[in-house]
């Protein structure tokens, strides 16, 4: 099974990683075409996840009505809502095991997993989540959401867009207004568009201060 590797419009990895800064004001008239947004999200979704359960769901807020609703739920992050082309709300399934059957069946169907492995893994997943309490679930879905979010930020750059990852929002309100189904918890919002400011350089702790070898 080979994976089709796309070529990005802005394919310079170093530029995408080191040129990325959080952008909080975007050019307000830019629209991200629907096809491209779908492609960006699919590429972000190549991120790894625990047991490959991909607990994330995306809600793309791009309409004036959607933005107006979100505006009052984002604390000090209103400039991003006002100017971004789109704000992707990353939701996570409280029960990621609900994705297992579909994903593992598809792996067998595409020939990348044999039936015995499929059956063993599904049993393992059911066993693990059958006993997992809320704390490990919350940790796993938060971790997986972080991975897809970072990949989204980098893929967006590879398409020529900038981002601001936004954790400052009122979770219960965002959940009530935007959750695309039951059992979906908002994790983070990613504002996306064409930068209308340079952003500012930020400090990183010295690597030798935060690294030890054992």
Ligand X SMILES: Cc1cc2nc3c(=O)[nH]c(=O)nc-3n(C[C@H](O)[C@H](O)[C@H](O)COP(=O)(O)O)c2cc1C
Question: Of 14 and 214, which has the nearer Cβ to ligand X?
Answer: 14
Q: How far is the CB of 24 from ligand X (least distance, A)?
A: 5
Closer of 97 and 144 to ligand X (Cβ): 144
Q: Which is nearer to ligand X, 10 or 21 (CB)?
A: 21
Pairwise CA distance, residues 155 & 137, whole Å: 27
Closer Cβ to ligand X, 37 or 152, answer by number? 152
Residues 6 or more apart whose Cβ sits within 8 Å of residue 150: 47
Q: Identify the H or E element spanning 211.
A: none
Tokens encoding 124: 């393992």
Q: Cα–Cα distance between 91 and 182 in angstroms, integer?
A: 11
Contact in structure between 83 and 193 (CB atoms under 8 Å): yes
Q: Which is nearer to ligand X, 202 or 211 (CB)?
A: 202
| Angle between helical axes of 171-178 and 64-71 (0-180°, round to 10) | 150
CB of 201 to ligand X, least distance (A): 8
Closest CB to ligand X among residues 48, 167: 167
- 178, 60 contact by CB (below 8 A): no
Report the nearest approach of ligand X to the CB of residue 23 (Å). Answer: 8
3-state SS assignment for residue 184: strand
Least distance CB 202 / ligand X (angstroms): 4
Query: Phi, psi at residue 165, to the nearest 5°?
Result: -80, 130
- 10 CB neighbour count, 10 Å cutoff: 14
Cα–Cα distance measured from residue 169 to residue 9, given in angstroms and rounded to the nearest whole number: 32
For residue 18, the minimal CB distance to ligand X (Å) is 10
Using CA atoms, how far apart are residues 5 and 78, in angstroms rounded to an integer?
Answer: 36
Compute the least distance from the CB of residue 149 to ligand X, in Å: 7
Binding residues vs ligand X (CB under 6 A): 21-22, 24, 77, 164-168, 188, 199, 202
């Amino acid at each position: 099974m080979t994976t089709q590797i796309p070529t990005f419009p802005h394919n310079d990895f170093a530029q995408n990683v080191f040129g990325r800064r959080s952008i909080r004001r975007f050019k307000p008239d830019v629209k991200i075409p629907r096809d491209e947004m779908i492609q960006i999200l699919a590429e972000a979704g190549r991120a790894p996840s625990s047991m490959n359960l991909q607990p994330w769901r995306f809600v793309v807020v791009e309409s004036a009505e959607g933005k107006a609703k979100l505006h009052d739920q984002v604390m000090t992050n209103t400039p991003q809502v006002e100017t971004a082309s789109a704000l992707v709300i990353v939701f996570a399934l409280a029960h990621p095991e609900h994705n297992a059957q579909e994903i593992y069946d598809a792996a067998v169907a595409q020939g990348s997993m044999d039936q015995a492995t499929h059956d063993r893994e599904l049993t393992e997943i059911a066993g693990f989540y059958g006993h997992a309490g809320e704390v490990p679930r919350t940790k796993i879905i938060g971790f997986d959401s972080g991975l897809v979010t970072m990949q989204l930020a980098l893929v967006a750059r590879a398409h020529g867009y900038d981002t601001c990852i936004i954790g400052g929002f009122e979770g219960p309100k965002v959940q009530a207004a935007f959750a695309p189904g039951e059992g979906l918890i908002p994790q983070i919002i990613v504002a996306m568009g064409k930068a209308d400011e340079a952003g500012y350089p930020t400090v990183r702790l010295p690597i030798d201060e935060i690294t030890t070898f054992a």
